[in-house]
Every structure is written in structure tokens, then in C-alpha cells.
Amino acid sequence: MTTELPTIGHWIDGAARASRSGRTSPVYNPATGQQIAELALADQAEIDEAIASAERGFQAWSRMSIAKRQAVLFSFRELLNARKGELAEIITREHGKVLSDAAGEIARGQEVVELATGFAHLTKGGFNENASTGIDVYSFKQPLGVVGIISPFNFPAMVPMWFFPVALAAGNAVVLKPSEKDPSAALWLAQLWKEAGLPDGAFTVLQGDKLAVDGLLTDPVVQSISFVGSTPIAKYIYETASAHGKRVQALGGAKNHMLVLPDADLDIVADQAINAGYGAAGERCMAISVVLAVEPVADELIEKIKDRIADLRIGDGASSPEPQMGPLITAEHRAKVSGYVDIAEADGARIVVDGRGFAPEGGGDGFFFGPTLIDEVPTTSRAYTEEIFGPVLEIVRVKTYEEGVELINSGAFGNGTAIFTNDGGAARRFQNEIQVGMIGINVPIPVPVAYHSFGGWKASLFGDSKAYGVQGFDFFTREKAVTSRWLDPATHGGINLGFPQND
Ligand code: NAD
């Protein structure tokens, strides 16, 4: 009965806050297909309340010394490290990814927390003495104020952690609007910030749908928007928030290709294609969706991938022994993924392994979809040009390296890509020629470490700034430059209406 289900609310003013909006949406455990909670969707009054609380939080937090802010960040890092198992369980319950994969996303988020603990160095300004006679010039960075983060369902902890450790370290207050599909990880993280000593309001969770998003995009108090999600929404976010004068970084969808040269070790390639194609049921923006096989390797590679698929263990990610792959996020998403396999088939592709209609033993009504392998996908098919976001690997056969590069570069997205080869010269040429933001050389999911930055090209990122790393700190700060002279009556030049010049 829906009436007995718990209702998930907001986190405002440093405390859990029940919603009075009366608007809700269901939250499921994708492995069982059962609804496990109702999520409150904010109304305008709650949006206003969340932003006002964040503004107060900003006043308190941004005035704290670097030393005190650093202590809060270190405390958050220690608490997260000690209790991350609880967070992994929450992720698995609402997202469906297996527990070790949930732990993996937390570990990658924790890297950014660790980067952020060194914020004093990364937000330092610069000083030039005697830029002109008796004049010094220096610059320093200040936080923006209240910043908005809008995140997707597929990494309910890691994606917010790409942004909020950096934003908070730089002195901002954060309003996080998580995905409606797995909203509880954000509340757990909010509670952890409270325990770490962050002032109330500096980390706020606003649950909601388009209304909450539009509230953040248009409210004049909100200074910037960091978004991750699908490309059409990323474009909307970029255009709307920019039109409202905000700084925006909007990361969109992907269609990542793995280019396999004939000299590659095909057993390693098959293992990596399985890992990168079917991990998290393909619901990763850096998942490999297309294997571009430079002939004559395709037939042999397909056999190897097919053999490995037969051994994959699929099931509830919280069960023991742990399976390797869990379900998709919702029944609707499963129908969409299945529809793309129908399209590929109708367009003349060969379905080598068919995951449509798959149900693991004891899988109940879970939203499972079997690993799928499709050969000879026409590059004109929507199943090739569009993002599927499921456990579907597509093989496209090409005759040459050049043909492979041309295909990747002509695609709409530019998030990630990988080349598999033993030829260093070819790999070096690839990294130079490819029009993609993140490249793996014999590495299938090249998510950069925290001290580099994460972001794609083309329809995979709207805006100029990537997530985390030095670019993250630049995004979440504003610079001031000061030109200063301590007046000396002996050298004071009197009245001069000319434009200031150096001497
Ligand atoms: P989504 O675009 O449906 O939702 C993302 C966020 O936008 C959610 O918080 C949602 O509430 C909000 N939203 C949805 N529709 C909206 C609308 N009409 N107006 C305003 N806000 C709206 O994405 P998703 O399904 O949650 O996540 C999967 C997508 O995210 C995939 O396309 C994937 O490639 C992408 N993704 C990209 C990256 C990256 O780094 N480039 C990382 C993770 C996920």
C-alpha cells in the first residue's frame, strides 16, 4: 500500500524537512521492481525556503577561516571513509548497481573530497610588487555564493561529489537537486556534512522535478549551475541558466567508441569490452557502447565476447554471492533500451546475444535486461547514432584506422573513447586526431583522476568548464584584481586626467 511507504523529503537549514507540497513521485528498488518510498517534489515555497537557507549558510560558511573550513573537510573525509558501506547500500537499493560498484563510485567521489582538502593551495591568488613605481598589483579568489547542482540517476553519490567538495571548499553554499529516481544518497551525505561541522544551510538538498530545476535556473540568488544528465536537458539547462546570468557547466550524454586495431590482444579487449559495456548495466556516461573492429578481428572478437557473456552473473546487487550486473533503473527505461534493439534489428543488424525479455532466476519483477551484443549495426541506424544507456554492445566493422577515427569524429557526442593497440605510434596519433574530451589508451573507462578534470566535447558538455581539478576551482570562484599604492606625498604626482600608464 502506497500510504504505508516512507516519504523522502528535503534537507534544509541543516535538518531533514518534510514536504508540504502534496506532490510526490515513486521510488523503486529496481532489483525487485517494488516501490519502496514516495519522494516529495518541491513546490515554489519550498524552493524559496531552500535557497534562502543556503544564502544564510553561505554567510556563515564563507566567513570561516581557511583553517576552520579545512578541518570540516577533513572531518567529512574521515566520516565518509568510516561509513561509506552505509552509502553503498543506499545506492544499491535505489539504483540497482551491485554493491562493489556502488563502493567504486563512492571511492571516485572521495578522491574529489581529498583533492578539495588542499583547497588553500588551489584557490591562492598572485602578487606583483612594483608593477608601476610604488604600485603593487594582486589578485585573489572569492566564492560565488549559492551554487546549484543538478544530478542524474546513474551516479547518485559520485556525480554530486564531482562538484560539492570543490564548491564548498572554495566557500560556496550548495543546493543539490538529486535525481527523483534515487534521492536518498544526497540526504545521507547532507547528514554527514552536519556531523562534520558544516554550518546549517551550507549544504541543502532540494528534492524535486522540473519545477525545482527551473527554480534554481532562474532565482537571482543562485550564482552558478553544475548539471549532469541527458543531452537535451543539458542544452536546456545551459541556455536557460545562461539567459539568467549564471555561470553554467552542463554535462550531457555520450556514445563512447572503443577502436580495436588488428595488433591488439583480443582476450584483453574482450574482457575490457565486457567490463566497460555491461558494468552498471551500461548505465554509465563513460560506458563503451560501440566496438569499432578494424578488420580482420571482428569475427574472433565477437566469439570471445559472446563466450564471456554466457558466464556473466546477473541479479540483485545486494545479494550474496554478489552478481556482476544488476537491473536497469526503471521499467520505462528497460522498454526504451529494448526498443533500440528492435530498431537495430529492423535496420538490418545481426543480434548475436539478445537480452530482450531476460529475467534472472529469482529476479521477481526487477527491471532486468540481459547483456546484448549486436553485430553489423548500420551507422545510419538510430540504434547507432543515439545513446542507449543499457547493457548493449554494438559492433561496427571498419577496414582501416582512418575509417574508425572518421566515424568517431563524425558523431554528435564527444565524451569518452578508447583505443586498443600495441602500436605506440598509432595511439599517439589517435590522441591527437580524435575529437573527444577523455581518451583511454588500452584503458576502457578513462575517467580522469581528481587532479585532472572531467568533461567531454561537443554534445557531451555545454559550457567552458569541466568538473573538478583546477577547472573546478576556477568555476566555483571569482577573481578580484587590486591595484594598490600607499601614498607618499614626496612622489605623489598631483592632478592628472590621463589614462593610468606604467612608469
Ligand atoms: P536526465 O537528463 O533525465 O535527468 C538529469 C536531471 O535533470 C535530474 O535531476 C532530473 O530531475 C532533471 N530533469 C529531467 N528532465 C528535466 C526537464 N525537462 N527539465 C528540467 N530538469 C529535468 O538524465 P538521467 O536519466 O537522470 O541520467 C542519464 C543521463 O545522464 C545519460 O544521458 C548519461 O549519459 C548522462 N550522464 C552524463 C554524464 C557526463 O559526465 N557527461 C555523467 C553521468 C550521466
CA 81 to ligand 1 centroid distance, Å: 28
Residues 6+ apart with CB under 8 A from 134: 485, 486, 488, 491
pLDDT class of 2 with cuts at 50, 70, 90: very low
Phi/psi-derived region of residue 361, left when phi > 0, alpha when psi is between -120 and 50, beta in every other case: beta
Does the beta carbon of 253 sit less than 6 angstroms from any atom of ligand 1?
yes
Q: What whole-number distance in Å separates Cα of residue 368 and Cα of residue 366?
A: 6
Does residue 344 carry a pLDDT above 50?
A: yes
Asked whether the predicted pLDDT for residue 479 surpasses 70, the reply is yes
User: Residue 361 — very low, low, confident or very high, per pLDDT cuts 50/70/90?
Assistant: confident
Task: Kindly state if the Cβ of 94 falls inside 6 Å of ligand 1.
Answer: no
- Give the confidence band of 87 by pLDDT, cuts at 50, 70, 90: very high
Cell of 463: 559550457
Q: Is the CB of 283 under 6 A from ligand 1?
A: no
**CB of 47 closer than 8 Å to CB of 163:** no
Could you tell me if the CB of 105 is within 6 A of ligand 1?
no
Q: Is the dihedral of CA 443, 444, 446, 447 positive or negative?
A: negative
Distance of CA 63 from the midpoint of ligand 1 (Å): 34
CB distance 180 to ligand 1 below 6 Å: yes
pLDDT per position as a tens digit, 232-277: 999 999 999 999 999 999 999 999 999 999 999 999 999 999 999 9
| Three-state SS at 418 | strand
Task: Indicate the top mutation candidate among 213, 239, 240, 454 to test ligand 1's pocket, ranked by most ligand atoms within 8 A of CB.
Answer: 213
Q: Stretch 379-393: mean pLDDT, rounded?
A: 98
Testing ligand 1's pocket by substitution, the residue of 154, 438, 445, 452 carrying the most ligand atoms inside 8 A of its CB is 154
Band (pLDDT 50/70/90 cuts) for residue 4 is confident
Q: Closest ligand 1 atom, CA of 181? A: 26
Ligand 1 contact via 160 beta carbon (within 6 Å): no
Average of pLDDT values for 121-128? 96
Q: What is the pLDDT of residues 144-178, one digit of tens each?
A: 999 999 999 999 999 999 999 999 999 999 999 99
Return the ligand 1 atom nearest residue 180 CA. 11
- What distance in angstroms lies between residue 304's CA and the mean position of ligand 1's atoms? 34
pLDDT above 70 as % of the chain: 99
Residue 3 pLDDT grade (very low, low, confident, very high; cuts 50, 70, 90) = low
| Mean predicted confidence (pLDDT) in 435-448 | 97
Q: Which pLDDT score, from 0 to 100, does residue 500 have?
A: 86
Going along the chain from its start, the domains and CATH numbers come out as: 7-252+460-481 (3.40.605.10), 256-441 (3.40.309.10)
Q: Quickly state the pLDDT bin for 42 (edges 50, 70, 90).
A: very high
The CA distance from 477 to 171, in Å, is 9
The residue contributing the CA closest to ligand 1 atom 9 is 179
Cβ atoms of residues 288 and 257 within 8 Å:
yes
Mean pLDDT of 85-92: 98
Query: Over 80: is that where the pLDDT of 81 sits?
Result: yes
- What's the pLDDT band for 222 if we cut at 50, 70, 90? very high
Is residue 490 scored above 80 in pLDDT?
A: no
- Residue to mutate, 95, 149, 179, 417, ligand 1, most ligand atoms under 8 Å from C-beta: 179
Would you say residue 227 has pLDDT above 90? yes
Mean pLDDT of the chain: 97
Q: Is residue 153 within 6 Å of ligand 1 at its C-beta? A: yes
Decide: 229 in ligand 1 pocket, CB within 6 A.
yes
Nearest to 277 by CA among 149, 454, 416, 481: 416
Identify the residue whose C-alpha is closest to ligand 1 atom 21.
210
CB contact at 8 A, 173 and 58: yes
Look at residue 136 and tell me whether its pLDDT is greater than 70.
Answer: yes
The proportion of the chain whose per-residue pLDDT surpasses 90, expressed as a percent, equals 95
CB-CB contact of 398 with 406 (8 Å)? no
If you average pLDDT over residues 184-203, what whole number do you get? 98
Active site residues: 285
| Residue 281, pLDDT above cutoff 90 | yes
Q: Taking a C-beta distance cutoff of 8 angstroms, is the pair 212, 41 a contact?
A: yes
Q: Is the pLDDT of residue 498 over 50?
A: yes
pLDDT of residue 350 exceeding 70, the answer is yes
